[in-house]
Amino acid sequence: IDLASTMTRPDLIEFEGISMVHYFTDNWEKVQTFQARPDDILISTYPKAGTTWVSYILDLLYFGNKEPELQTSQPIYMRVPFLEMTIPQLPTGVELADRLSTSPRLIKTHLPVQLIPKSFWEQNCRVVYVARNAKDNAVSYFHFERMNFIQPDPVDWNNFLQMFMDGKKVFGPWYDHVCGYWEKKQTIHYMFFEDMVEDTGREVARLCSFLGLSIPTEVREKITKDVHFDNMKQNTMTNYSTIPIMDFKISPFMRKGKVGDWKNHFTATQNDQFDEHYKQKMKNITLQLRTEI
């Protein structure tokens, strides 16, 4: 099925205090009442912060040895369901999660912390959050909106950046998202895209320690290689080339995977305005993100 060529882009709507599109709210009742299991692992991110990367790391850590056939037969978005997703002709995220027979279940969400279904907290599920610096996150999101037809049209970079700064992006303001989870950093695993680029092996080891996994060093090193950008870009099970809502001729899903690509997009004026606005938005928080490494 090729949905991309027939889809019309959705409008941005206001929903539960944030901007959204209906593809992530149509199944709201079932999302909010989702029954988590105690061993579920919730992978949460603002869109384009490294969700797929950390999803694949967790997938390999848990199932790379136990069920290796999964990684070659099922795309990552089937193995790690996107909880709030409802796209016509595809199973919903909740259906996919309910259908998963593996344990633990790895479940992906982009919901801001206040909208996470309460069952995850009640069951004391482990939560892995990835944050990415606002500038690179914005650039990546811009290219994603260009190629993904379930997102509103970004129009152009300048328009996109204004909307990003105004918090008018799907899943709400980046600022509130990263700060909301930061408040919970004692109980969740809060990680950074920039750290993963700097030293993936170290971040895999940290994840293992958070999850209480003892994985032999050679296995961890193999996983670190398998999740390298070039390998994930080639891998049809992780590069999203099988999903029918994106146009890779416009931009690939695995685009650059770098820290600092914002420098190729922000004009000097945009950069000054952004920095000033950022300082205001983030002045009361200890959270620090690196825009270069």
Q: Is 148 in the site for ligand A3P (CB under 6 A)?
A: no
**Segment contacting ligand A3P by CB under 6 A, of 4-12, 167-175, 221-229, 273-281:** 221-229
| Minimum gap (Å) between residue 38 Cβ and ligand A3P | 26
Give the residue with the Cβ less far from ligand A3P, 45 or 71. 45
| Minimum gap (Å) between residue 155 Cβ and ligand A3P | 18
Q: Is 143 in the site for ligand A3P (CB under 6 A)?
A: yes
Give the residue with the Cβ less far from ligand A3P, 47 or 180. 47
**Segment contacting ligand A3P by CB under 6 A, of 45-53, 87-95, 173-181, 278-286:** 45-53
Write down the catalytic residue from 110, 143, 177, 189.
Answer: 110
Tell me, by CB under 6 A, how many residues bind ligand A3P: 20
Applying CB under 6 A, among 19, 44, 86, 140 the residue interacting with ligand A3P is: 140
Residue nearest to ligand A3P (CB): 257
Q: How far is CA 88 from CA 6, 9, 29, 162, 184, in A?
A: 12, 13, 17, 30, 34
Q: In Å, how far from its chain's centre is CA 155?
A: 22
* Residue ranges in 251-290 that form contacts with ligand A3P under rule CB under 6 A: 254-257, 261
**Segment contacting ligand A3P by CB under 6 A, of 32-40, 42-50, 70-78, 265-273:** 42-50
| Minimum gap (Å) between residue 150 Cβ and ligand A3P | 13
Q: What is the DSSP string of the chain?
A: ---TTTPPPPPPEEETTEEE-GGGTTTHHHHHT----TT-EEEEESTTSSHHHHHHHHHHHHHTTT-HHHHHHS-HHHHS-BTT---TTS--HHHHHHH--SSSPEEEE---GGGS-HHHHHTT-EEEEEE--HHHHHHHHHHHHHHBTTS----SHHHHHHHHHTT-STTS-HHHHHHHHHTTTTTSEEEEHHHHHH-HHHHHHHHHHHHT----HHHHHHHHHHTSHHHHHH-TTTS-TT-TTB-TTT--SS----S-GGGGT--HHHHHHHHHHHHHHTTT------S--
| Minimum gap (Å) between residue 197 Cβ and ligand A3P | 6
Q: Is 106 in the site for ligand A3P (CB under 6 A)?
A: no
Q: Is 45 in the site for ligand A3P (CB under 6 A)?
A: yes
Rg over CA atoms, the chain: 18
Q: Is 169 in the site for ligand A3P (CB under 6 A)?
A: no
* Residue ranges in 224-253 that form contacts with ligand A3P under rule CB under 6 A: 227-229, 232
Is 277 a residue of the active site? no
AA letter at 142 = F
Binding site for ligand A3P (CB under 6 A): 45, 47-53, 136, 140, 143, 227-229, 232, 254-257, 261
Annotated catalytic sites, by residue? Answer: 110
